[in-house]
Amino acid sequence: MNKRIIYLFFIFSNLLIAESFLIKSKGYLDISTGEIVEADILIIDGKIAEIGLIDESENVTVISLPNLILLPGLMDSHVHIVGNDSKGEESIADSSHMGTVWGVVNAKKTLMAGFTTVRNVGAANYADVALRDAINRGIIEGPTMLVSGPALGITGGHCDHNLLPPEFNYSSEGVVDSPWEARKMVRKNRKYGADLIKFCATGGVMSRNTDVNAKQFTLEEMRAIVDEAHNHGMKVAAHAHGLKGIRAAIEAGVDSIEHASFIDDETIEMAIKNNTVLSMDIFVSDYILGEGIEAGIREESLNKERLVGQKQRENFLNAHRKGATITFGTDAGIFDHGDNAKQFAYMVEWGMTPLESIQASTIRTAQLFGLENIGEIKVGFDADIIGVIENPLNNIRTLEGVAFVMKEGKIYKK
């Protein structure tokens, strides 16, 4: 038998057993060329089985979306789905159980907004692992999640919890203060189901009493984290605003720098050479300095945001111009989950074409996540497909109101 016959046989046999859909739409956005392709999409068993002009057959459910343009499901490389971050100090009394409950709600909002895959970077008590697994088992609805478990950080650093007074003697689960403690924590995170490792390489905006410019961890500690994680096939994401921390993290071999706010020309070159991806959350600043004030964000954080926000946008523009790989990462959780797509317009305002901003949230994120079968509408890929009412290349903000969501061949929004 030739290949074509084997293939038809494969499709036919699958039609008998699997749930199959034929999506008819205005067309789909080819993510590599920017062309709108007028074609039907056949989905069998959660995968894209055929693209073209396809006749309706009896065994297939037709999904008619004549007013929608389809594109691959969106991805966010930096979210905090577990917990209720935006409510400031009020949430300090929330247990990790409460954080997980919030996570259930947040995961659903994220999926309904068209984000079919996200990377959750930091959660206490492996609540993120539980959420991911509950979604995969079909217990709750949410995006495909890659999760880090507790983020690693130094005592008193951005990834430690500094709001409680000393008599509570509290430190976050991921606090490690030597290369060997760091290795042990990486091993523990892997043991309990983390997909990747997150660590804090500088102070942060939202944490109490940390300096965004101060490097956290020694190069030796960062190297230990990366070596241990890579040894287990896990990627590493480093939170870093200040230059010293960004440089050390790149030197240590991390896969992505989160925020990258103060990155300069030389360090952009360094990132390009080392294949380090930048995940720059350039929308969140407007939230923090706008609604965030009412939501209870502390004065210290507002002041730090005033230092970081504008600079980060300028450096985003520069890094993109110089050819750095930038993914779509938003820090959703500071602002409401489901509003992730608001960042597209900012990425366009700060130098990307609309197509580049969508690629940042599809092909580029898939590459960073190490996932080969998502991020494009292509035969053999997972049927993670969304629909919008306009061509997003003409109006990027159409992505803020996604009308159709399918994840792995299952419809969640229509």
Interaction with ligand ARG in 322-341: which residues (CB under 6 A)? 331
Question: What are the two backbone dihedrals, phi and then psi, of residue 240, each rounded to the nearest 5 degrees?
Answer: -160, 125
Interaction with ligand ARG in 189-218: which residues (CB under 6 A)? 204-206
CB of 335 to ligand ARG, least distance (A): 10
Distance CA 178, CA 191 (A): 20
Regarding 114 and contact with ligand ARG (CB under 6 A), the answer is: no
Strands 196-200 and 235-240: parallel
Distance CA 67, CA 65 (A): 6
Pair of tokens at residue 246: 């960004």
Return the range that interacts with ligand ARG (CB under 6 A); candidates 45-53, 133-141, 280-288, 319-327.
280-288
Contact 278, 284 (CB under 8 A): no
Applying CB under 6 A, which of residues 185, 284, 326, 360 lies at the interface with ligand ARG?
284
Of 206 and 326, nearer to ligand ARG (C-beta) is 206
Applying CB under 6 A, which of residues 106, 117, 285, 365 lies at the interface with ligand ARG?
285
CB of 151 to ligand ARG, least distance (A): 10
Of 122 and 142, nearer to ligand ARG (C-beta) is 122
Residue 129: how many other CB atoms lie within 10 Å: 21
* Nearby residues of 31 by Cβ (< 8 Å), 6 or more positions away: 71, 72, 355, 358, 359, 362, 363, 375, 376, 377
Residue 296: how many other CB atoms lie within 10 Å: 12
Of 20 and 357, nearer to ligand ARG (C-beta) is 357
Among 263, 343, 275, 261, smallest CA distance to 306 is for 261
SS3 303: helix
The number of residues that bind ligand ARG (CB under 6 A) is: 12
Interaction with ligand ARG in 240-279: which residues (CB under 6 A)? 259
CB of 155 to ligand ARG, least distance (A): 18
CB of 119 to ligand ARG, least distance (A): 14
Pair of tokens at residue 359: 């690629």
Map residues 306-325 to x or -, x wherever contact with ligand ARG holds by CB under 6 A.
--xx--x-------------
Contact 263, 246 (CB under 8 A): yes
CB of 258 to ligand ARG, least distance (A): 8
Q: Which residues bind ligand ARG (CB under 6 A)?
A: 204-206, 259, 281, 284-285, 305, 308-309, 312, 331
